[in-house]
């Protein structure tokens, strides 16, 4: 079954499903399409009936490309996202996302440099790429404590 689209449809499992579902619904609202048109977009772009049915990265990419064709522009392309390091990073993608979101939520100094210093202080590793899942969890716990203290004030 030679299919020319196999390379682009490599079945990589969808990561950060919750965040990506939110982005799809933000895009739907931004382009102001009807529910019927939305279902048609999902079916045409990814062969699904509901965003909840997305299982693969290529499906998400296809849906977002369809929204871009309708005029949706993500803040991500305008540099309005959480920090992104150019180099490798330890821990899971979900842990990294949670650390970045918590940092943006509760830190006074929200720079990448300050976050790296915080990670080093908590884990005693010189660079985020040396984090493993257990150390990343330690950072998350410390950030959650910071967040609770911030909320209590």
Q: Which pLDDT value is given to residue 133?
A: 86
98 and 147 within one domain: yes
First to last CA, the chain: 62
Tens digits of per-residue pLDDT, 59-77? 999 999 998 888 888 765 4
Q: Give the range of the structural domain holding residue 66, as residue numbers without chain letter.
A: 17-76
82 versus 16: the higher-pLDDT residue is 16
Q: Is residue 8 part of a domain?
A: no
87 and 147 within one domain: yes
Q: What is the mean pLDDT of residues 45-52?
A: 91
101 and 57 within one domain: no
90 and 45 within one domain: no
Q: Which two tokens stand for residue 9?
A: 């449809």
Structure pTM? Answer: 0.46
* Number of domains the chain is built from: 2
134 and 88 within one domain: yes
Tens digits of per-residue pLDDT, 114-138? 998 999 999 998 878 788 888 999 9
d(CA 3, CA 93): 30
Closest CA to 83 of 53, 56, 107, 103: 103
Query: Which residue's entry shows tokens 């279902």?
Result: 39
87 and 144 within one domain: yes
Q: Is residue 47 part of a domain?
A: yes
Q: Which of 61, 76, 91 finishes a domain?
A: 76
Q: Is the pLDDT of residue 8 over 60?
A: no
Q: Which of 28, 50, 76 finishes a domain?
A: 76
Least confident of 33-42, 58-67, 85-94, 98-107: 85-94
Q: Is residue 3 part of a domain?
A: no
51 and 28 within one domain: yes
Angle between helices 133-152 and 93-106 (to 10 degrees): 20
């Amino acid at each position: 079954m030679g299919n020319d689209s196999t390379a682009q449809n490599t079945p990589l499992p969808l990561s950060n499903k919750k965040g990506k579902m939110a982005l799809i619904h933000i895009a739907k609202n931004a382009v102001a399409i009807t529910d019927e048109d939305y279902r048609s977009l999902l079916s045409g772009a990814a062969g699904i009936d509901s965003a909840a049915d997305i299982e693969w990265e290529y499906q998400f990419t296809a849906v977002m490309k369809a929204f871009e064709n309708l005029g949706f522009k993500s803040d991500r392309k305008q540099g309005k996202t959480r920090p992104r390091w150019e180099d490798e990073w330890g821990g899971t993608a979900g842990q990294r996302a949670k650390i970045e979101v918590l940092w943006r939520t509760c830190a006074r100094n929200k720079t990448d440099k300050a976050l790296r210093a915080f990670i080093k202080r908590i884990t005693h590793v010189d660079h985020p790429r040396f984090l493993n899942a257990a150390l990343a969890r330690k950072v998350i716990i410390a950030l959650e404590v910071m967040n609770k203290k911030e909320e209590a004030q």
